[in-house]
Structure 1
Amino acid sequence: MRIRTTLLASAATLAVVPALAACTENASSDGDKGGDARAVTVTSSDDACELSAVEAPAGTLTFDVTNTGSDVTEFYLLGSDGLRIVGEVENIGPNLTKKLTVNAPEGDYFTACKPGMVGEGIRAEFAVSHSDDEAAVSASDQELIDQAQANYRSYVQDQSDQLLLRTKEFVRLYKDGKDDEARALYPKAREHWERIETVAESFGDLDPKTDAREADVDFAAGEKWTGWHRIEKDLWPQDATGYRVLTPQQRATYADDLLANTTELDQRIHGTGKDALTYPIDAIANGSIGLLEEVATGKITGEEEAWSHTDLWDFQANVDGARVAYEGVKPLLATKDAALADELDAKFGALQELLDRHRSGDGFVSYTELSKDEVKALSDAVNALSEPLSRLTPAVTS
């Protein structure tokens, strides 16, 4: 878990992204890639965020983000309020380049770099101007887009409903001191969170309250640690050296807080009218990419579930969510790049085959049971899928 997102929601439902510091830019209004005004290069250093352009015409925009700093960075395109996250690319290591593709209508935006993926970050104004040459969407493509959006909305709402139901049961067991039953339910309840993690993370206030790992919390700055992983540590105290278990009253406090935040998440996901979440086709595709990124940066390393070691449940759930998002846009992709669709089908299948080897009963073996070779095989399969998946958004928005 990190505070990040790839999905677009209404400004009223998206939670606050921390205010970001001033940004530097090369003030050109034209892209620098062969005259393509919708292609923007971004250079993120330790103390600057330089853009090749501060304006682009409406349509599908591409940001090539290169990290010249000494730490991992992220890049955001934010709405005019500085809160709504239109698109984001994450985990860009030093000397690496990653691409963000988003469909941006006319309006005012902010760009933001976040060196270290912590703190306030660096931002600047970005304008998207009216364009008369936006590609028209055919009636057949629009039908596929509408279906993908409707299906994905239903999927997210269903997973949220199941998450709330199982969280209620988990909280009851934990508060009643039925630890064995709570431990058994823990990874099963969290599957529903992990399948829609990129949506849940779009609510910046709820995500850290619900899913922060201990390493994500700045205790020196007075931040409080709550949520799933705070309770996880209490349920598996034998893996936490010198840990003192919580009192019944403390248990009730953390459990009630988890349930309250999960209830709030469900209400926001089911919002209507001006509070309704929207799922543009590029956001669904970027959501698939983001969920696989979650696997690559947390689950495959065993860092997510530090005490329960149920990382493979999370791994599978992230892959489930990525696959559902991809399959939602696959009919549209098949009309534009059938070869890419075939490649993604094969790579998803290969990864799933490897995951299935580690099943045990209705779940998975402990992450600690994996050998180094088995971890490497899973990592290689994730990397093999990541490359073609990174081409999904440009393909479906072309």
Structure 2
Amino acid sequence: MPDVFADLVGQAEAVETLRRAVAAAEIIRTEAGLAANPGAGPAAGPEADPAAAAGVSGGGGVATGTAMTHAWIFTGPPGSGRSVAARAFAAALQCVRGGTGCGECAGCHTTLTGTHADVRFVVPEGLSIGVGEMRALVLRAASTPSGGRWQVLVIEDADRLTEAAGNALLKAIEEPPPRTVFLLCTPSTHPDDISVTIRSRCRVLTLRQPSPEAVATVLRDRDGVAADVAGWAAAAAQGHVGRARRLARDPEARKRRDAVLALPRRLTGVGACFDAASTLIEAAEAEAEAAVAESDATERAALETALGAGGTGRGASGAIRGSAGQLKDLERRQKSRATRAQRDALDRALVDLAGFYRDVLTVSLRAPVAPVHTDAARTAGAAAEKWTAESTLRRLEAVLSCRTAIETNVKPRIAVEAMMLALWRG
């Protein structure tokens, strides 16, 4: 049977929690008298508010023993399925078959495809989510659900909220509109990722990194990937389902990974370190450019058409001359998106590189664990014979420090060059 939670891999406990919450939300609707009349407006009284019905005060938070509340944080490591869980939860809340999350009804289907009128997804294209965008979304989310169920606001990468945007969201969470649910996705609940005040008013659902076996099973049974390829891709992706799919299906993704794993052998001197850094940065830039080129061209063409490009009527040329500001704003947003895409591509390469040094370390220590990069086991073994465990650990720490530096807005080239020199020195 179809199920909105089917794509959430290796998260049985989280799925059970979300199912209980959906069941509680359906009870709230029934008690509010909405189940018999789906088109009606919100009923009077606290039962119309999921927070009030759950026994939560106006200041937010979750009462002991409750299963549903108006604000959630989905957190976990990259690839654990934070946004997948939030989207599936939103679909189950909008399911017209008693909140079962059937995956087949109009409520489930439109939510999963991003077209439901009462579900809004905030997917930042650039490095941050601004206050203007957040205020507009919060205002829209406060309206009465057109379908009579819930207004749902899903914020992917909520750690990219600016301080002002976070404050705008906090006010809405502190004074939640009736029948509005906020779903935030963030790598962790550390104050640097999401403010303590927002966290204290949300229910936190922590996802775990799925096992390679669970990811391989999904690739094999659901995506039709050969068993050996599925096993290799799942291990190489280190529990990241989307990354595993790309490696299994995309030859270019496999080539980029192979080039990253070849870098440690190239670090033979200072000059080689800078060459390797340039190679890594340029590969990330090329990957990012390819990823956004089509959407950039489509957006620009659509805007120029809307502004009258190609028109021959009276005033067409004047309209184009007056559109410079809008075109400049589009270019600014596209540049921010390209920067984000480049950093994401670079981070994937650094994760692969960290996996290699982790494999070298496990060989040095004779740890009884499976390697991440099974196809690079021979190279890892040769490196383990040359390097001490301490020097390997320093190299692994250099890669992780590079990731942290880039996350804190150190220029990627400077961070990568410093990392390459540290890898060469050991």
TM superposition score category, shorter chain reference: under 0.3
Which structure: greater strand fraction?
Answer: 1
TM-score (normalizing by structure 1): 0.26
- Structure showing greater radius of gyration is 2
Q: Which has the higher helix share?
A: 2
Q: TM-score, normalised by structure 2?
A: 0.24
- Which structure is higher in RCO with an 8 Å CA cutoff and minimum separation 6? 1
